[in-house]
Amino acid sequence: MSSMQEMMYARRPAWLTFAAVVLFSVGILRVISAIYYFADSVRINNLAFGAFSTHLWLWGLWDLGIAALAIAAGYSLLAGNELGRIVGYGWAILVIIQSFMIIGSAPWFATAMLVLATLVIYGLASTSEYRESGGGPAQPGV
């Protein structure tokens, strides 16, 4: 490993990397979930009392939107951009809202998503001084 790579990995806080990995993982899970919604799969819980009722196509769009936000935020966080932090907070808020919408029909999934969203918010909030103190990816030639 070159010294440039060592500097980049040594500077990024672990909580920030954790938040990015969670965002990527949940983004991929939500893409798979959206495919199930679009295919009208029998693996889907009864969401008749949810916000979109039995319109699985709308649930699929919702999951694709959350997946796009999560993957974009994870990539941006690993690149050291502030946009990833902002999108990560927005993603966590949407996930918390959705968790409360589906907690009656899928309590374990909703609880797990609440915990992950809370950990992402903690990871982003606990590393807020990382960017303020001049941290970030090492710049070549600096």
Please indicate, yes or no, if residue 25 is contained in any of the structural domains. no
Please indicate, yes or no, if residue 50 is contained in any of the structural domains. yes
Question: How many distinct structural domains can be found in the chain?
Answer: 1
Please indicate, yes or no, if residue 11 is contained in any of the structural domains. no
Q: Percent of the chain scored above 90 by pLDDT?
A: 21
**DSSP-derived 3-state class of residue 2:** coil
Domain range for 74: 30-128
* pLDDT score of 139: 45
Please indicate, yes or no, if residue 16 is contained in any of the structural domains. no
Please indicate, yes or no, if residue 3 is contained in any of the structural domains. no
Q: What average pLDDT does the structure give for the chain?
A: 78
Please indicate, yes or no, if residue 142 is contained in any of the structural domains. no
Of residues 89 and 41, the one with the higher pLDDT is 89
Please indicate, yes or no, if residue 79 is contained in any of the structural domains. yes
Residues 23/77, Cβ–Cβ less than 8 Å:
yes
Lowest mean pLDDT among 25-34, 43-52, 73-82, 131-140: 131-140
Q: pLDDT tens digits, residue range 59-77?
A: 788 889 889 988 998 999 8
For residue 85, which of 59, 123, 30 has the smallest C-alpha distance?
A: 123
